Structure 1
Amino acid sequence: MSLTTDDADLLSAPVHFYITDGDPHARFEIVTSGANSGELFVLNALDRETVPSYDLTVTATDGSLVATTRLHLDVLDANDNPPVCEEEEYAVTLSEAAPPHHVLTVRAHDLDDSRNGRLRYYLTGGGADDFAIDPALGHVRVSGSLDREARPVYRLTAHVQDRGRAEWECTSVLTVTLEDVNDCAPSFVLPVLSLTVPEDTAVGTILGRLDVRDDDLGLSAELEYSLVEEDDDDARLLLDPRTGVLTLGRPLDREQQAMFNISVRATDGGTPQLSSTATVILLVQDVNDNAPEFTKTLYHATALENTTVGTEVLKLLATSRDSGVNAEISYSIIGGNEHNMFQINPKTGIVSVMSELDFERAGEYMVTVEARDGGIPPLSNHATVNVTVLDCNDNAPVFGQEVYSAVIREDVATGERLLQVHAADLDSGANARVRYAVTGGDQHSQFAMDTDSGYLYVATQLDREMVSSYSLEVTATDGGDPSLSSSAQINVHVSDANDNPPVFSETEYSAVVQADILSEELLPFSPQEDKPPGHPLLLFSVTDADEDPNAGPFTFEVAEGNGGNWFVITAGGQLRTAAKFDHRLRNSYKLLVRVYDNGDDVRFSETWVDVKIIEEPQYPPVLIPLHVSIQSYQDSFPGAVVGRVHASDQDPYDRLQFGLVAGQAGLERLFELDPDDGSLVTLAGIDAGLYRLNVSVTDGKFTSHTAVTVDVSEITDQMRSC
């Protein structure tokens, strides 16, 4: 704050300022800032809550004259005081039935002025949601429903917080104790109490006690017990009104009534009184005082003599008026079953066959059955079972043979009778009447059987080439109900009839007049024109679907094209020359060759053969030298085709033959040469080294030679690792 003075003197001394009154504690000072001015400073800390304002007297002097003035200063508030709670703890008692209302006011203050002294109130602690506090005034009120049984005492904390500085707060403890009101009805621990009592229990016997809880206090928790309705059932029980003890009031009989349903009530002593009800179920437990009783004293049953062992004959039923173990019935046969023909299931009472029945041996049985309960001591009763055994179809037809055999030609006429089967049945009447049928092995229905006589007939045309034999299953079935049957096997062998002609392997053949003079092979021959008669040309391959003797041996002939008897066919089917040929006179022949089978009803087929007559070879074959390199690992070459010698011939029909020239120092044991295509095979076990072979090729007239070298080198493990 600045202070200034005016001085009428022209030559005035500097002015000095002094606080001469109103600042007993030296809170302020004035510092001269000019010839006639000064600045007011706060010298020490101010406290508005202690001195809210100052009235200062300021004196100014130039050394000779003095002037004074008054200054009024108001100290403005700063938020420098925390809230202060006036009570550390509040205690109040409320009824648990109290409605929402004011409970108390939390008192607190703040020395700061109204702006900096504003406070905020809030509650914490278990159950704080059941109460509300005015955030500005601190009024606490009930906000929800209270329940003493759930929370009898609340211990809450009331927080008073400076709104300007949230970290400044004080707290007070609020203890609210709830007073009880009768708001809880008695509660049965078991809404349904089940008591099991033997039917011979004495009157006055304590059966049990009702277990009831009441969460209220005092008179509100004092209980009185009673029966809801005093009817006949209720009279079975006596209920102590103070203790809730139940005792038997009347004798029990489970066979008359096995269960009682009784309602009981518990009432408290509060105002108003509250009550609740429960159900007591009295289960009467059986004692063994009733013997089992069969539904009949005499049972009748029938069983076929072929009844399977284990088959049920009838089911007995015995019941007991008792219950539980006393009503558990077990059955047993105690008489009339000396041969153990029947058995009875001890639990179900089912009587079943134990051994095979035979009407011829025994037609009727009288069996005594006992029913015994599980009581102690057990009680029992008896019944008689009359079982009548009925005769039945228990013998299947039996064939005179297990396997029958027949042989028949494939061209037999349909309807032809093959054989007769017969089966005998030890039964009589309809049970012994046998009927026959083919039941297997005849997929195409080629056979039929007379159902009464057992004769087997041919039904459709047979074909041995399709099926040469049949294994038929024939079944004999009797007239019983259910019917019985047995089976036998008929093996039918179809013998051959000459119904198929022989067939050439090719529809046409061809040969040329050129031959290998070094060979007499039988596949396609090529005779030269100057060959002597009898030179082989080719060999016919013939098949016949029939079997011998309707197939081979075959007979061949040249049916056409052999007017001059130039060719002949041997019995083995080899076509040979029968004359010398001159291609300048005739260079081709077309022959029709026929082959006949050996059957009684002879059948044949035909094929054409084209024979060309050519002159003898004019040019020698030409060979290409061959060099082969082989690398053998550890001297263990396994053997393989390593190369092929190639040759050519200008004669178009020449057939070349390759070979190793003999006398080559045992090389035949190491090498092989295919005579037809010139493939060179090195055999296993050949050693490393250089081998020189002399190879020849011939067209039947000219022979040529060439050298073949084979270089075998060894590979070792050391060489492989490099």
Structure 2
Amino acid sequence: MDAAGYYLRFSRWGTIYSNGSGMTKTIGYRDWRWQALWWHHFFLLWSTIDGQTRYSIPEELKQGSVVGNLAKDLGLGLSDIFDRKLRVASEAGEQYFSVDAGKGELVVNDRIDREALCGQSASCVLPLQVVIEKPLHLHRIEVEIKDINDNSPIFHTKELSLKISESAAVGTRFPLEARDLDVGVNSVRSYTLSKDDFFSLKLKDVSGGRKVPELVLSKSLDREKKPIHQLQLTALDGGNPVKSGTSQITINVLDNNDNFPVFEKNVYKVSVSENSVQGASILKLTAKDSDEGPNGEVEYSFGAHTPDSVSSVFDIDSLTGEIRLTGKLDFETNANYEIDICARDKGIPIMEGHCTVQIDVLDVNDNAPHIFLTSQPNSVPEDAPSGTVVALISARDLDSGDNGKVILQLPKGSPFTLKPSFSNNYALVTGGALDRENISEYSIEITATDSGSPPLSSKKIISVRITDVNDNPPIFSQPSYNVYLKENGVAGSILYSVSASDLDFGENAKISYSILDSKVQDVSVSSYVYINSDNGSIYSMHSFDYEKLKVFQIQVQAKDQGSPSLSSNATVHVFILDQNDNAPAVIYPSSAALGSLSHQRMPRSAKAGHLVTKVTAVDADSGHNAWISYKLAEATDASLFTVNLYTGEVRTKRSVSEQDDSSQRLLIEVKDDGEPVQSATVTVSILMEDGLHEPILDLRQKATEPSKKNGRITLYLILSLASVSVLSVLTFLILAVKCIRSSRSSGSCCMRRSDCDDYKNPNRNLQIQLNTDGPIKYVEVLGGDMLSQSQSFRSCMSPMSEYSDFTLIKPSSTTDFKEVISVLDASLPDSTWTFESQQVTLVFTQLKTQSAVPSTGTPRHYQQITAQSINLEFSYY
């Protein structure tokens, strides 16, 4: 039992006493000691203890109320109660129960107060001992005492007085509590408060499941209006019926600085440009306090929790409430500020009021847009179609509104365009044809401009590499090449090196050279030359003979290594240059016909300048190597005869006298103009006779006893010579007239193609070509059927000299005149004139010229010839 419960003492007389806190029975002190000793020995004598039985009853049962049938529950008969002396003893010492011997029932012997026995304990159980003798047995039973709502809630005091300052903040709480001796649902369950505008009641949960009432200030107090507030607090338990307890609460309102400063507005809004200067006034605040004296004096400050980002930019005057700008505003960092302003008076206690100032920063276009590469630019093949994506680009401007709207632009003429996607994101795509050979890498300048006023812009350069595609064939340095090769060269020597370039790159620009198969004199050209595939050098396979092959063509192909490969061709014209490898051959007078000597006759009456004979020689070479000169090497009488250096005419230097021998012997040397000089000799025996009048005629008759074949050829030559002579005279007359008209001041005729365009014929039946190769100058007139045995006529023209002649020479049967004409016409276009003729081929060779422009020895150099007179003298052989 606890202190609030009860204690039992045995008395000799068994007198029961009651105190004010509960039912307590007392017994004499000596009897208590004796009975305790007896119980001690009694328990030592027990041999068995039975199981436990439990009963449950409410408190405050009337005396005699039946708890339960104890005999039946213990398995005893009614007779056992007397015979075995059954009795009940309480461990607590108080006999609240007894046994009805007639019925064997356990009945209430005295009033039971649960609160006195167990206090606020949730469970209250009284243990009892049932003693049965003969044989001795001890049974333990428990009786649970249940609580009934027999106690009302009570407060510590019936009247409660509180003192609250009128400046107490709304929501201030004051704890209250009531007690109820009952437990469980019978304890205090709710509270009620009399109606009041300033106070309300809130319940607070505490440990043990209890609810403690709190008086809450719901409205600010004003002692001047109502100094005292009377409230009644009622506590209600959960019993049935409900019981309650009340307490009167008196609240005295203490006078204080009860008026706090009040701003005109709770929230002030103001806008400030971000470029405002430091020290600018932002806003002036005013808070009013209804108190007088120090209680009405107000000081302004920022709230206690104002961040540094605000205090470093703004400041407030504590006396005037004016907010000024002390730092630099940046819309992009902070677009708005929310500042808590506190106004405090000087009263006791200090009262304060608050307001909020919202400052919106107005954006100024002070940030240029920025360009970002979302992806690095890719290399683009030059054949990429229009619209190929190169890079992804985004633009950003920290400003807002129109100041943050960005437009991207590319330079005009750029082969790229910008394709917008979303939210200032763009794709850089190809917008036109690309050519790596023109531009292999683009530095694209992108300009970003915002819409602010004034607008700001920035630029970014993006490099885009163009990859090569094999779209360019190799290109030779020139479409055709002219190669001049001396005959009799060493086999394997280099003829020429062609060169081609390819505008592409890498493998697409690697070039290999080859010779296309063609025929030269019915033989593959590869048997004449071969080419180095790497560098384009052309080498000869063997030496060449000008007299057999004068010109031929080589088709060279240059092919790159791209995929697919591309190629181009160039023509190499190979001109075989003549070397002086043939000695002159005397064809008249023919020593073979008359033996080792050539016998000629002349009259003794011959005067000075009499034509005795004419030595004619030919040279298989050409050009200056075929320029033949005649010289009298030995003579019987050197004073009598002379030999023309160029024509080979043998004439008398003086009249023949009687003293001269009738038989004269002349050794004539024939030399060419080559290097080294080749020569031949012919011996002419002259017999002088009297009475010989027509020696030349007789000689001609002997010389012109041709065979049947020679007569036919002679007829053809005479007809050809006649037609060509007329044509040549007309041609040179026309040229002379044109030259005189175009260059009267200089007195010279410059042979140019443009001067004779009126005589041009695309049929190319007759061509006159000016050849300036070496010191021998000659004009070739080509015509007739090129496949026939055309004749070649060579004429030496010297307007300033008497040494000019016209010689018929049979051309080489191995010459491919179609090839010669095409090659010469392509290589010497400015020295070619075309006339309608299909008869013969004339070659005019000028032995001596006076040139207004000195000769350079190159075939393409124009020679200027003084056109005063042209004397043609024909000699036939």
TM-score calculated relative to the size of structure 2: 0.30
The structure with the largest alpha-carbon Rg is: 2
The structure richer in helix per residue is 2
TM-score calculated relative to the size of structure 1: 0.35
The structure richer in strand per residue is 1
